[in-house]
Amino acid sequence: MLEVRDLHAGYGELAVLHGVDLSVGVGEVVALIGANGAGKTTLLRCVAGLHRPSAGALTFDGAPLAARSAAAIARAGLRLVPSDRRLFPQLTVRENLLLGAHPRRVASADLRRVTALFPRLAERWGQRAGTLSGGEQQMVAVGRALVGRPRLLVLDEPTTGLAPPLAAELYAALASLRTETGITVLVAEQQLPRVLAMAERGIVLERGRVRHRGSSTELADDPAVRRAYLGVG
């Protein structure tokens, strides 16, 4: 579904990605693992059309993404939920969600699905998004992506800055979403146990290069990965 081939990207003189290969198949959940500064966000921003790679190929459903705008990529069914959420702070929860399917009207079934997934949002329905807690904002961000009916949901560190119970709640919701809809997900994360519990495969990024790749169990058992990301070994 998503193919990334030999991707190079950076900011001016600073090169961040040095030839990254990655693929996500239909129905898969793939974890993108790496420390701060490994290049996860840059990679996901390239995928979503927010950052222009310096070299390499990106295809979604076989079609190249290079020439397409972020909006066109989103409409094609690839939705990024960035780590800073990027909600519309002046708009209410409801309005944020309604904008997720622009210019279509959001089906009420889709809204109900989001509130079933995140019951808290129903309580905050008329509240401005800028006044929500971090966890609630993340729920709105994921909900806004979902009402656009994405075929590939891309999450950039969804639990950053969330208290552990909220992070657990978010992953529980994502897991149930996955069981219900079989949606394809690419998720960048630093918290290994949580993400590996949901993902089939993982890719470990280190300083802009793929260092390890394998099934979730392989990665969880790999001594080097355990040492680096689980603090044990």
- Residue type present at position 60: F
Q: Which residues contact 41 (CB under 8 A, 6 or more apart)?
A: 82, 83, 156, 157, 188
The distance of closest approach from Cβ of residue 221 to another protein in the complex, given in angstroms and rounded to an integer, is 36
Cα 32 from Cα 44, distance rounded (Å): 10
The distance of closest approach from Cβ of residue 84 to another protein in the complex, given in angstroms and rounded to an integer, is 9
15 versus 70: smaller Cβ distance to another protein: 70
The distance of closest approach from Cβ of residue 130 to another protein in the complex, given in angstroms and rounded to an integer, is 9
**DSSP code string of 184-213:** EEEEEES-HHHHHHH-SEEEEEETTEEEEE
The distance of closest approach from Cβ of residue 49 to another protein in the complex, given in angstroms and rounded to an integer, is 8
89 versus 182: smaller Cβ distance to another protein: 89
- Residue type present at position 49: G
Query: Which parts of this chain interact with another protein (CB under 8 A)?
Result: 48-50, 69-72, 74-75, 79-80, 82, 86-92, 95, 98-103, 126-128, 144, 148
103 versus 231: smaller Cβ distance to another protein: 103
Q: By C-alpha distance, which of 68, 168, 89 is closest to 131?
A: 89
22 versus 44: smaller Cβ distance to another protein: 44
